[in-house]
Structure 1
Amino acid sequence: MNSGRAPRRRPGRRPRAILSATAVIAALALSACTSGGKSGGGGDTNFVTNAGGISTAALGDRRPVNEIAGETLEGDQLDVADLKGKVVVLNVWGSWCPPCRAEAPHFAKVAKETESKGVAFVGINTRDPNKGPALAFEKDYGVEYPSLYDPTGKLIVNGFPKGSLNPQSIPSTIVLDRQGKIAARSLMALNEEKLRKMIDPLIAEK
């Protein structure tokens, strides 16, 4: 006997794209815009963290990054893999982030002074809903190196293997050796001295 009720619809699954975007935003919001942070990438690691909060990986324990490529704030295409052979400094930042503003002049200065030594700086701008504020940030602080535009954080989440020295806060700085492997990481704003302490040992490696 038909009761006259319409059959109940089973709730549909949320699209994977929505779930992925939610996961990315949640990961970035976890430690967004902090002046410090705990080290560690999970798993059985051999990372060493010094008193200044900089974590390093010994040569035999380093892991390569995944693909980190896309459009820069200026609209050019950039692939970090093309920089292999250089020491690469990856800085995760946002124009809305006070610690990012504090460290920006130091990064701009060190980037210019180490370019001739085979060091390349690449920013990863995140959580800026449009490019305008980020471009103004670069102009205000004299940042001349390129930044990949990553408003949803996909490059940050997918570009670094789990269990590695991956970014876990904004700002984060990751330094790759000349083979494109993750050698050092900081989860806090850096001054010139601390930034050079991350870079100089890798410049000296042959």
Structure 2
Amino acid sequence: MSACRAFRRPGPRRRITLPAILAAAAALSLTACGSGDNPKSGGQTQFVQGTGGVSVVSDKGGRQDAPDLSGKTLEGKELDVAKDYKGKIVVLNVWGSWCSPCRAEAKNLVNVANDYKDKGVQFVGLNTRDSDPAPAIKFEKEFEVPYPSLYDSAGKLLLRFPAGSLNPQSIPSTVFIDRDGKIAARAIKALTEEELRKTLDPLVAEK
């Protein structure tokens, strides 16, 4: 795809940038996608733009805190990522049941989630733009997703990511949170198994 457009409505064949989800946050409307943007560093945050739209903060001291990611899952259960998965590496995948690239990467996420569950890694989905949870639940059953997804149809949780951080900027996006609850990496594209493992392995090895 040579160009990306601001989000208007879900389309079946392209990765969609996140919308201006709330009227009060209209200025948050994003148009960048593809290989990723490279925002200016804020405070001590410094990250390097990797190939294929994967950005990494290799210096632990330069990482920003992940925001409060809590709410109800697609099944209606309460989930607080920071409390429920304290001390674990969290892989947060932003997705929608209507998103074709999300379907393409689903099996990769499932395979790696199963392979890394005994390595202190917890995958969490963040479902957005699904006005009804039913299609999203069907998606999870179809791909045998073994991890929960927060239901964020209006995108309120996405707005909690700090400006200038490695925040989700497209659907799909994947954010990697280290054991200390800080944002260590971000991908703004559908990921292969190899890319997931390549990003996770250094985090697993960290002490």
Name the TM-score class by shorter chain.
Answer: 0.7 to 0.9
Q: Distance in 1 between matches of 2:181 and 2:100?
A: 29
Q: Distance in 1 between matches of 2:185 and 2:79?
A: 22
Q: Could you tell me how far 1:23 is from its partner in structure 2? A: 4.8
1:38 paired to 2:36:
yes
Following superposition of structure 1 onto structure 2, how do residues 42-121 of structure 1 map, counting pairs within 5 Å? Answer: 42-44=40-42, 45-57=45-57, 58-82=59-83, 83-121=85-123
- Out of 132, 143, 150, the position equivalent to 2:152 is 150
Matched to 1:100, the amino acid is: C
Q: Distance in 1 between matches of 2:182 and 2:110?
A: 23
Structure 2 residue runs without a partner (length 5+)? 1-19
Q: Do the aligned partners of 2:131 and 2:153 also contact (CA within 8 Å) in 1?
A: yes
Structure 1 residue runs without a partner (length 5+)? 1-18
* 3-state SS of paired residue (2:111): helix
Decide which structure has the larger Cα Rg and report it. Answer: 1
Q: Distance in 2 between matches of 1:102 and 1:133?
A: 16
Q: Could you tell me how far 1:25 is from its partner in structure 2? A: 7.1
Q: Do the aligned partners of 1:24 and 1:153 also contact (CA within 8 Å) in 2?
A: no
Q: Over the residues paired in the alignment, what is the CA RMSD in angstroms?
A: 2.0
- Out of 134, 137, 143, the position equivalent to 1:135 is 137
State the Cα deviation string for residues 172-196 of structure 1 (Å, max 9, x = none). Answer: 0000110000000000000100011
State the Cα deviation string for residues 89-138 of structure 1 (Å, max 9, x = none). Answer: 00000000011000000001110110000000000000000101000110
Q: Distance in 2 between matches of 1:78 and 1:37?
A: 31
Matched to 2:183, the amino acid is: I
Q: Distance in 1 between matches of 2:205 and 2:86?
A: 16
Matched to 1:121, the amino acid is: F
Q: Do the aligned partners of 1:123 and 1:146 also contact (CA within 8 Å) in 2?
A: yes
Matched to 2:175, the amino acid is: I
Q: Do the aligned partners of 2:46 and 2:63 also contact (CA within 8 Å) in 1?
A: no
State the Cα deviation string for residues 129-172 of structure 1 (Å, max 9, x = none). Answer: 010100011011111100000000000111x1111100111100
Q: Which runs of 4+ in 1 moved over 3 A?
A: 23-28, 41-45
Normalising by structure 1, we get a TM-score of 0.83
Q: Which moved more, 1:48-57 or 1:115-124?
A: 48-57
* 3-state SS of paired residue (1:89): strand
Partner of 1:12: none
Q: For this pair of structures, how many residues does the alignment match?
A: 184
Q: Distance in 2 between matches of 1:113 and 1:41?
A: 33
Q: Distance in 1 between matches of 2:148 and 2:159?
A: 20
Q: Do the aligned partners of 1:39 and 1:55 also contact (CA within 8 Å) in 2?
A: no
Partner of 1:9: none
1:174 paired to 2:175:
yes
Alignment CA distance shift 1:41-1:166 (3 Å) = farther
Q: Do the aligned partners of 2:95 and 2:172 also contact (CA within 8 Å) in 1?
A: yes
